[in-house]
Homo-oligomer: A and B are copies of this chain.
Amino acid sequence: MQEVIQLRKAAQTSVSQVSLLDKLRKLVLSGEYPPGAPLPELFLAEEFDVSRTPVREALKQLENEGLVEIRPKVGTFVRIPTRREIVELFQLKESLEGLAASLLARRGPVPEMDILKRNIEESERAERNADSVKYAELVHEFHWTIVRGSDNSKLVEHYGRLMNQLAYHRIVLKTVERPARMRASIREHQSVIDALLEKDPVGAELAMRGHVNASSLAAARGTDAGAPTDA
């Protein structure tokens, strides 16, 4: 009984429609199962009242997504991310979102543009109200709208994988969006929209990349010191 990290029973919701994979992913992303925690198949099987087989399949998938690590014949553990990875992921994010903005700019008038305009308005409102939760949601929506608006399903697919990993790192590294950055961020969003409206792919890409880069630097500074150590 020398367990390093104790897992408490998660709230037992019925396995119903939502897949086991989604539930496991959420538990890892939410930090309910913290980095380094063991995830024995039998434990999870009892937890979700299924057999080991579907649990195994879900864990394999999560390994594939980079959220857990399966050590053969030893066990499955929630992955411990490194600081280096977050830098790498932000570099990828910049590149992919830049591509998305560029593609969206070429598409002419699409419904996404209206969504983005409304997003800006709501973001300004959230900023005035210092509602950082609402603001974070809007930022999330802004970026996803542009990526989906790229009309490139493979890009959306890869971006989704990327964001899963980043969301995980966000939780783990306890990244905090500083209120001070909100206004700057909104201005950057606006300049992205401006370029999109002008159907300027190059400008849109540059604006988007600049924005992602700025916010990633801010995120790096916002990382608290208690984060896991690098390798």
Contacts of A155 in B (CB 8 A): 88, 91-92
Q: CB within 8 Å of B: which of A5-61?
A: 53, 56-57, 60-61
Task: State A152–B95 Cα separation when bound (angstroms).
Answer: 13
- Shortest Cβ distance from A28 into chain B, in angstroms? 17
Q: Which of A92, A99, A154, A162 has the most CB of B within 10 A?
A: A154
The reply on A197 being an interface residue by CB < 8 A is: no
The reply on A146 being an interface residue by CB < 8 A is: no
Of B95, B103, B154, the residue contacting A98 (CB under 8 A) is B95
Contacts of A95 in B (CB 8 A): 95-96, 98-99
Task: State A165–B99 Cα separation when bound (angstroms).
Answer: 19
A152→B92 contact, CB < 8 A: yes
Contacts of A154 in B (CB 8 A): 85, 88-89, 91-92, 162, 165
Task: State A18–B158 Cα separation when bound (angstroms).
Answer: 27
Contacts of A94 in B (CB 8 A): 99
Task: State A95–B155 Cα separation when bound (angstroms).
Answer: 10
Q: Which partner residue on chain B sits nearest A98 by CB separation?
A: B95
Question: Would you call the interface of chain A mostly helix, strand, loop, or mixed?
Answer: helix
Q: Which partner residue on chain B sits nearest A156 by CB separation?
A: B88
The reply on A181 being an interface residue by CB < 8 A is: no
Contacts of A153 in B (CB 8 A): 85, 88
Task: State A101–B140 Cα separation when bound (angstroms).
Answer: 28
Q: CB within 8 Å of B: which of A80-96?
A: 85, 88-89, 91-92, 94-96
Of B85, B91, B103, the residue contacting A99 (CB under 8 A) is B91
Taken residue by residue from 155 to 177, chain A's Cβ proximity to chain B (1 for < 8 Å, 0 otherwise) reads as: 10110011001000000000000
Q: Which of A88, A89, A155 has the most CB of B within 10 A?
A: A88
Instruction: List 15 A–B pairs whose Cβ atoms lie within 8 Å, in order of A's numbering.
Output: A56-B57, A57-B60, A60-B60, A61-B64, A64-B64, A85-B153, A85-B154, A88-B153, A91-B152, A91-B154, A91-B155, A94-B99, A154-B162, A158-B158, A158-B161
| 10 interchain residue pairs of minimum CB distance | A88-B154, A95-B99, A88-B152, A95-B95, A89-B154, A64-B64, A92-B154, A158-B158, A92-B155, A57-B60
